[in-house]
């Protein structure tokens, strides 16, 4: 097997990922529409959210604490965000940046695929997805991949582009992938070979929505609002999320628009699934046992599914975040993770437009979309089920791998058994 290290071609974090951004929020709809029209014409607007009455703006430079400046698109004039806030009676706040769960995407983690390397097919066999697909394949269910975009040129997703979200300035770019990570997640959840694709995912007939984000709070709230509208139109929507706060200790609480959008999505009947995180080795001291906790914030909610990862041999990946979760025992929270899903050492998978092997597995990012795919299988069998029904079937059907609850949750997902419980 070749061990040649591959650096992803032409990859670097784009400016949108690193730029500083501020939201300008106004108090009422009248003020919002008065702000929106002129702002869109001459300011570097990234996100417009009428529901939450803010626009977000890329800050050109900072010159002191009270001089946040924007570069006009039409003149050489620099404009103060503070002056805009005063003019429209608004408030400004710096946009919070989440972390993508991408440790296993480090350049030295990639290698040429070897003939004996495990692949997605091996994963599907282990979680009994191949058996489940004999009867249900995720038809009429939407899986939203909130990530770095999805490579829509790949035949794995032909005919199943159900929607897209991207920044204001990036029209029609959601079906491109600036990292390759989102394409990996979409492949695991919903790829198929009907039109010449190379991979089959857990729910090969599910529809796919590509949400291209740089993991900033303003974007994630807007993206969720878009998906809420889709759910309110009558569609079953499952959201796969592989972002969080990279920390070995409980992070500082933040005011987040995303938190409100998450509340609204759950109220709309959307099933929301999160990767638990690849943060366990950051804890002090780092341990490979089922302690201490390394699941943070909204991933502790009892109305979301939080997913860890193990290897194909049933041992935990050392980085997979552990429970019981920062907020276990508090109202509305529960012990985490809910379940785990396997990701293989040197596992072959589609990354952007290239099939690569990842030395350290696919991370909890590669486990989360397996559960999203399973949810689609279940909803295709029982469209009348609620999101809570689907989540309960996933938990109750999981197979214990003999580890503490804080490591494995209810156990490894079993797609075939889950279908018998819905």
Using DSSP, state whether 373 is helix, strand or coil. helix
Long-range contact list for 131-134, CB < 8 A, 24+ apart? 131/415, 131/416, 132/374, 132/377, 132/415, 132/416, 132/418, 132/419, 133/200, 133/204, 133/377
Taking the mean position of all CA atoms in its chain, how far away is CA 317? Answer: 20
pLDDT, position 72? 57
26 to 59, 72, 82, 222, 288: CA distances (angstroms): 18, 21, 13, 16, 48
pLDDT tens string 348-384: 999 999 999 999 999 999 999 999 999 999 999 999 9
Write out residues in the chain with pLDDT < 70, as ranges: 1-12, 38-41, 60-77, 102, 286-288
148 phi and psi angles, rounded to 5 deg: -90, 15
- Among residues 156, 308, 177, 215, the alpha carbon closest in space to that of 16 is found at 215
10 Å Cβ neighbour count for 282? 16
For the beta carbon of residue 420, count every other beta carbon within 10 angstroms.
Answer: 11
Quote the pLDDT of residue 390.
98
- What is the predicted pLDDT for the residue at 147? 97
> Domains of the chain by range and CATH?
15-94 (no CATH), 99-420 (3.40.50.200)
Give the other-Cβ count within 10 Å of 389's Cβ.
Answer: 16
For 293-320, what is each residue's pLDDT tens digit?
Answer: 999 999 999 999 999 999 999 999 999 9
The three-class DSSP label of residue 61 is strand
Dihedral of CA 244/247/250/256: which sign?
A: negative
Task: Name the H helices within 320-401.
Answer: 363-381, 387-396
């Amino acid at each position: 097997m070749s061990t040649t290290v591959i650096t992803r071609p032409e990859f670097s974090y784009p400016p949108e990922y690193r730029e500083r951004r501020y939201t300008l929020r106004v108090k009422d709809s009248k003020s919002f529409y008065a702000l929106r029209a002129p702002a869109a014409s001459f300011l570097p607007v990234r996100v417009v959210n009428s529901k939450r009455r803010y626009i977000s703006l890329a800050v050109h430079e900072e010159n002191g604490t009270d001089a946040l400046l924007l570069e006009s698109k039409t003149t050489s004039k620099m404009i103060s965000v503070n002056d805009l806030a005063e003019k429209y009676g608004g408030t400004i706040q710096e946009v919070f940046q989440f972390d993508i769960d991408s440790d296993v995407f480090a350049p030295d983690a990639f290698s040429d695929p070897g003939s004996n390397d495990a692949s997605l097919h091996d994963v599907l066999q282990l979680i009994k997805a191949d058996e489940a697909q004999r009867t249900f394949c995720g038809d009429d269910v939407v899986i939203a991949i909130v990530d770095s975009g999805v490579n829509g040129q790949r035949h794995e997703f032909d005919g199943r582009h159900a929607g897209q979200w991207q920044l204001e300035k990036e029209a029609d770019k959601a079906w491109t992938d600036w990292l390759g990570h989102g394409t990996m997640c979409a492949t695991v959840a919903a790829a198929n070979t009907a039109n010449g694709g190379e991979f089959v995912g857990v729910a090969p007939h599910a529809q796919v929505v590509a949400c291209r984000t740089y993991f900033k709070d303003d974007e994630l709230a807007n993206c969720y609002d878009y998906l809420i509208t889709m759910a309110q139109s009558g569609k079953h929507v499952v959201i796969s999320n592989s972002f969080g706060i990279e920390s070995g200790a409980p992070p500082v609480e933040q005011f987040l628009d995303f938190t409100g959008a998450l509340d609204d999505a759950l109220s709309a009947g959307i099933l929301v699934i999160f990767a638990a995180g690849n943060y366990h080795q950051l804890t002090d001291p780092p341990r490979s046992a089922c302690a201490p906790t390394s699941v943070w914030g909204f991933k502790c909610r009892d109305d979301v599914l939080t997913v860890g990862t193990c290897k194909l041999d049933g041992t935990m990946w050392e980085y997979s975040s552990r429970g019981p979760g920062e907020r276990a025992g508090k109202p509305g929270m529960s012990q985490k993770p809910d379940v785990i899903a396997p990701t293989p050492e040197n596992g072959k998978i589609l990354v952007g437009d290239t099939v690569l092997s990842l030395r350290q597995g696919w991370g909890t990012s590669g486990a989360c979309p397996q559960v999203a795919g399973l949810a689609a299988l279940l909803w295709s069998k029982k469209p009348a089920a609620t999101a809570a029904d689907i989540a309960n079937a996933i938990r109750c059907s999981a197979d214990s791998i003999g580890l503490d609850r804080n490591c494995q949750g209810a156990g490894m997902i079993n797609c075939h058994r889950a279908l018998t419980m819905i």
